[in-house]
Amino acid sequence: MKVVIDEEKCVAAGQCVAAAADVFDQREEDGVVVLLNENPPTELADDVRNAAAVCPALAIHIKE
């Protein structure tokens, strides 16, 4: 699984961090998504898919 984020679309809601805190974080200054691991391990795959689903800005893309 490869994760790609679109910083420009990100609205800093932080839903992705709530869904998968090992893969996503937010910048201190403006809350924009920070990708901690662009190739998350299999055991986190469901959480990452969930993070992409709950992102209100559709800023997370997954290549399986």
Partner 1 sequence: MTIEHGMTAPGRVLVVGASASGLTTVEALRRRGYAGDITVLGDEPHAPYDRPPLSKQVLSGAWEPERATLRTPDVLSQLDAEFVLGDAAIGLDTTTRTVRTASGRELAADAIVIATGVRTRTLPGQEGLRGVHALRGLDDALALKKDLAAGVRLVVVGEGVLGSEIAATTRMLGLDVTLTGPLAAPMTLQVGPMVSALLAELHTEHGVRLRLGAGAAALTRADGRVTGVELTTGEHLPAEVVVVAIGAAPATEWLADSGLRLDNGVVCDSRCRAAEGIFAVGDVARFHHERFDCLMRLENRTNATEQAIAVAGAILGEDRPYVPVPYFWTDQFDAKLQIQGRVTPDAEVVEGDVTARRFVARYTSDGVVTGVLGWNMPKQTRLRRQEVVDALRPPVAPIH
- Contacts with partner 1 by CB under 8 A lie at 11-15, 17-18, 26-28, 30-31, 49, 53-54, 56-58
d(CA 11, CA 57): 6
CB of 18 to partner 1, least distance (A): 7
CB of 36 to partner 1, least distance (A): 14
Say if CB 35 and CB 23 are below 8 A apart.
yes
**Residue closer to partner 1 (CB basis): 28 or 39:** 28
Count other C-beta atoms under 10 Å from residue 55's C-beta: 23
